[in-house]
A and B are shown apart, each in its own frame.
Chain A
Amino acid sequence: MSDDLVTDILNPVEPFLRSDRVPHIWCPGCGIGTTVNSFARALIDSNIDLGSLALVSGIGCTGRVAGYVKLDSFHTTHGRAIPFATGLKLANPKLNVVVYSGDGDLSAIGGNHLIHAARRNIDLKVICVNNLIYAMTGGQTAPTTPDHSTTSTNPYGVFEASFNLPQLVEAAGAVYVARWTTFHVRQLSRAISEAFQKKGFSFIEVISPCPTLYQRRNKMGDGLDAMKYYKEKSRVRHGAPTSEVGMTMTGEIIVGKFVDRERPDYQTMMKAQFHESLGERFVEQTEMVCS
């Protein structure tokens, strides 16, 4: 037998993961792990200094990402990943700060922080895994759950309107807004790499299946069926007006890069303002470490 067959071949994303925490808690067919793979590949491609990278999650299935990546990683409270990340970035502007969380965490309980961070244009990269439901708690309605789908808290069908997240964050001021699905692993990885090149509030929505709760309850099959749906119903429309990209239960999924614009970020504006108002009295923030 050739030695080749027993030689360990390192998975290229393994150095980015806390392998000692495997097995993870995500269900078979769940898309979150797929997004982490794309994220890790984006780190490889964009040559980011991992030492300067911090990842912040909230609570929920996607909130567990922080526990699986071999980075300075913070699993915060429900909805508050963005303000925690804001604190990291303000105290140490050299950090590259990624917020990695779910649709419920970021747009419901954390919705206020989402729009205000976009308004301020804090230099954060937000990856929002949208599985259209509260999954960790057992399949309740989220602000993103499409009309007519069934959840454990809308057992007779959802009748309230859902958020169109790209439109929301564009209106609030994000400089980079894209959406892909977990079928589009390479496009997603490229989008994350692109966001690392932007300075300012960047938002990437990833439509991701929840076979255990959303798919099953709505008779949409398993993870593989979700991939087929994403493949057949996704339409790439770069630059599409975000008002036209709202999600429906079984309709088209508009994907692509919707917004890519320039606007000075919070810390650039802050420095300019202090230079202008205080002149030489302005002391630029230097080493913050209080040792």
Chain B
Amino acid sequence: MGFEIPKIKYTGKIQEITIGTGQKAVRVGGATCYPFYRFEGEMPNPARIAFEVWDHRPDDWQEWAIEPYRDVIHDPAAWARKSIDVYGAEMIALQLKSADPNGMDRPVDDVVRVVQDVVHAIDVPLIIWGTANDDKDADLLRKIAEVCEGKNVAIGPVSEKNYKQIGAMAIGYGQVVMASTPIDVNLAKQLNILLGNLGVPDEKVLMDPTTGGLGYGLEYTYSVIERDRMAALTQEDVKLQRPVVCNLAHEVWKTREARLTGKDDEKLGDEIKRSILMESITAMSLAFAGADIVIMRHPESVKLVKEMIGELMG
């Protein structure tokens, strides 16, 4: 009797989800094994990277993060185009930072106009990330679902507080929702059940587990995604069989360690290299845990992660 490598017994499959339309539409999910365990099952779609674009010129970015986008950073539509044309973005994640009631608190209509500009300027799938303020998002994302009709965009974060309002509009206009819960497998399951009860089809739900950057809670996010996947693939928990999206760029780039320069502290070394590595390591770790879409900032980090995913899928 020859030696047989032990295999995990999978009983589930991650729901396959399409974002966007036409030739550039992206499919994620569909796995019947743990991430990159292609010797045990199918992983039909690789983890995908969305380039983040802010809806307003950011005022607190590091110079070296601005640099790749300097000529377009004041214009979200042009910024999105550059990410696609120059850096090869396959997806765009528009961050509605200016709508945040704790920040600029720009009116809903103004922000919706920016979304329209961007969605019409690009042909790749669009993720639209709100403020994470339940009330503002309920209003804002509902209108966005409407104006993006026919584009099959992903909108979120949708929480247990506003899933009814946003979910109903997403059903009406055929958009994908991103169900967001605070690093908790039980709450993630519950929100998926609630969205299902509301009538949101299974193939229109992505999960946002809440993302922590390297050194700032990455391990918690990693563990909860792992837990989601174990339940989904080995414990027949159909309610957790959804692809995962991680909005990580801002979590990495806002940290002290991504800001300090080599002059501030010699031991920390070159700041550009360091912050790019912090972003890539965060993204790659989350992909290993099971993230299907990672939202990233710097073209160099994206390049590194894309290469690694390519090798693992090759």
Q: Does B associate with A?
A: no
A residues contacting B by CB (< 8 A) are none
B residues within 8 Å of A by Cβ? none
